[in-house]
Amino acid sequence: MRGKIICSLILGIFLIGIISAATYCCERTTNGAWCQNVNTRTQCDNSRQITAAYCEATSYCKTGTCVNQIEGTCVSSTEAACTDNGGYWSTQKAGDLPQCQLGCCVMGNSVAFVTQTNCKRLSSLYGLNINFQANINDELTCLASANPEVKGACVYTKDYEKTCELTTKKDCQDKAKITTYEGASFHEGYLCSAPELGTVCGMSRQTQCTEDDVYFIDTCGNLANIYDASRIEDTSYWTNIQKPTCGNSEGNKDSASCGDCDYYYGSMCKAKKTGDTVTAGNYLCKNLDCNSYRGLYGGSSSGYATAETYPKHGETWCATDNKNGAGIYSPGATSFRMICYNGEVTNEECDLTRQKVCAENITDPATGFRTANCVANLWADCWQQTTQSNCNDINVRDCSWVDLPGYSFSLESALTATPESSGVCVPKFAPGFIRDSAEDVTASCALASSICIVKMEKHIIGKWQCDKGLGGDKGDENNCSCVEDANGKYDAGVTWSNKLSKVCTNMGDCGNKVNYIGQPGSTNTSVIITTISDENSNTNKTE
């Protein structure tokens, strides 16, 4: 009897424990969690479904796949949690949904194992071109495809021998698929001569040209690092791909010990020739400067290239075929753009008539490096400019101002006396005429011709002199300065013609000049004087 009472008490205590430990399934809790089992109903969001049971037994907490169509991600989720966040929910597993299929997203040198939508999203975020490879369906293969062009040692067994090729990761991965490359494995950043790889490839003293530089090659013929004679026996230099540390900053021209060439500074890898010296191998950074050229070169104080001062590779400069030392201003002279390239000098003719002239600049004052181009000679409207500022405006024309008070150009009568004028504008580079041409060459020269009419009288001793009037005060009115020197002494127009000579010679192939081969033209050293008689006096017309 006593035993039965005890059992009843125990059963009562057990039933009370079950009732006090009730479980509720909240579709959503007050804390925002989805499908949570809780002990009290007050923990559930009353606006959502609540059941006195475990969530695993409810229909609203059944999980499926939630697709974020913007981000391109697929996660396991309940329907309510998915749709509340703007997702698309499906009862299917992610692997069965086309939009959830993963592939390899290649972005430059980076990769990610994601969906195609997510790949496009990453492209827009980082501004990269992408390549989505749907055929790669496992993450390890995808990660292995990163940096496909990175270089390293591809080690494999062939004909029972462990050998190696210096190549790219992609190439090595392709070789691994071929049975003849047994056990191909890629070792990024390693050289085939690295001792730890245990291949048959070793160090050597041989070199070859690659990408303009001189490189060591190993005993298997693979590229190693850039040639550095001081590291021929340095094991560490034959282990990893390294940047060179040898030589100078000028391209190591003709260096016997360093193969770090620089085409910009005038050197590139070439086979050695007689007279060249190298410590090892048969190649060097050959000097591309034009050091054997001895022609015209403004970089030299003599005007000609020397053994110490000569054009550098890539340098351009101006020269002329004028043999009388007068630059491009002599009749028949032509300017050229000279070019030093790969050790040879060539030229480009600007223009026979100097409608184009060579213009030169020093682009590097420290080295005197020059650049030149054939540019248009903008001379045609110089004579129309009446002020010095307009004449010297280099943005519009190529002209020079000549101080010549009292004269100006006139289309009707060429160079004429104009009291208010302070000077005239002439071409900076005198235009020329075609050699051996029969065409009329007087057009621009005619603008520089001038006529000065002077009333003359014969002196008592029979010599002519300028008529200055009875009081001697009409010299200016009578243009006496056209036939007298600065002291008022009669000189038959020599002083006057010299004053106007610069105008004449700058207007073209005019005036007293020596041509481009050093031969003088039909020179005229005196003023043309024409005597015109009238009833009252003799008048000299001076041209």
Beta strand pairing call for 399-403 and 423-427: antiparallel
- Average of pLDDT values for 369-388? 92
Model confidence pLDDT, tens digit, residues 285-313: 999 999 999 999 988 888 899 999 999 99
528 or 92, which is more confident = 92
Q: Which residues contact 538 (CB under 8 A, 6 or more apart)?
A: 456, 457, 458, 531, 532
Model confidence pLDDT, tens digit, residues 314-323: 999 999 888 7
Torsion of CA 229, 234, 236, 241, to 10 degrees: 20
Residue with tokens 């509720």: 24
Task: For residue 328, name the pLDDT band (cuts at 50, 70, 90).
Answer: low
List C-alpha distances in Å: 391 to 379, 388, 431, 507, 524.
10, 5, 17, 14, 30
CB 350 within 8 A of CB 432: no
What pLDDT shows up at residue 140? 75
- Average of pLDDT values for 74-97? 88
Q: Which amino acid is at 170?
A: K
User: Does 422 score more than 80 pLDDT?
Assistant: yes
514 vs 34: CA distance, rounded Å: 103
Q: Which two tokens stand for residue 397?
A: 């024309």
Please tell me which of 21-30, 138-147, 471-480, 517-526 the model is most confident about, judged by mean pLDDT. Answer: 21-30
373 vs 379: CA distance, rounded Å: 18
Q: What is the DSSP letter of 535?
A: S
User: Does 20 score more than 50 pLDDT?
Assistant: no
Q: Which residues contact 275 (CB under 8 A, 6 or more apart)?
A: none
Model confidence pLDDT, tens digit, residues 108-159: 767 888 999 888 888 887 777 888 888 888 887 787 777 778 899 999 998 8
Helix or strand run (H / E) with residue 269: strand 267-271
Average pLDDT for the chain: 84
What pLDDT shows up at residue 325? 63
390 vs 399: CA distance, rounded Å: 9
Task: For residue 43, name the pLDDT band (cuts at 50, 70, 90).
Answer: very high
Q: Which two tokens stand for residue 447?
A: 């603008």
> Which of these ranges, 35-44, 149-158, 321-330, has the smallest mean pLDDT?
321-330
What pLDDT shows up at residue 361? 92
Helix or strand run (H / E) with residue 466: strand 464-466
- Closest by CA to 453, choosing from 523, 526, 527, 535, is 527
User: Does 181 score more than 80 pLDDT?
Assistant: yes
Q: What percent of the chain has pLDDT above 90?
A: 41
Contacts of 474-477 spanning 24+ positions with Cβ under 8 A: none
> Which of these ranges, 3-17, 176-190, 329-343, 461-475, has the smallest mean pLDDT?
3-17
User: Does 523 score more than 60 pLDDT?
Assistant: no
Q: Which two tokens stand for residue 117?
A: 């939508």
Q: Which amino acid is at 222?
A: N
Three-state SS at 371? strand
**R_g over Cα of the chain:** 47
Q: Which two tokens stand for residue 20?
A: 């006090």
User: Does 444 score more than 60 pLDDT?
Assistant: yes
Q: Domain limits of the chain? A: 21-96, 103-144, 151-287, 398-542
Q: Left if phi > 0, otherwise alpha if psi is -120 to 50, otherwise beta: which for 251?
A: left
- Closest by CA to 187, choosing from 201, 208, 173, is 173
- Average of pLDDT values for 516-538? 60
Residue with tokens 């591309």: 288
| DSSP annotation string for 297-310 | -TTSTTSB--SSS-
* Bridge partners, residue 76, by sequence: 65
- Average of pLDDT values for 326-348? 86
CB neighbour class for 336 (10 Å; exposed up to 12, middle 13-18, buried from 19): buried
Please tell me which of 173-182, 236-245, 300-309, 456-465 the model is most confident about, judged by mean pLDDT. Answer: 236-245
339 vs 296: CA distance, rounded Å: 12
Task: For residue 5, name the pLDDT band (cuts at 50, 70, 90).
Answer: very low
| DSSP annotation string for 423-485 | EEEEESS-----TT--S---HHHHTT-B-EEEEEEE-TTS-EEE---TTS--TTTTTGGGTB-
CB 511 within 8 A of CB 520: no
- Average of pLDDT values for 180-203? 94
445 or 291, which is more confident = 291
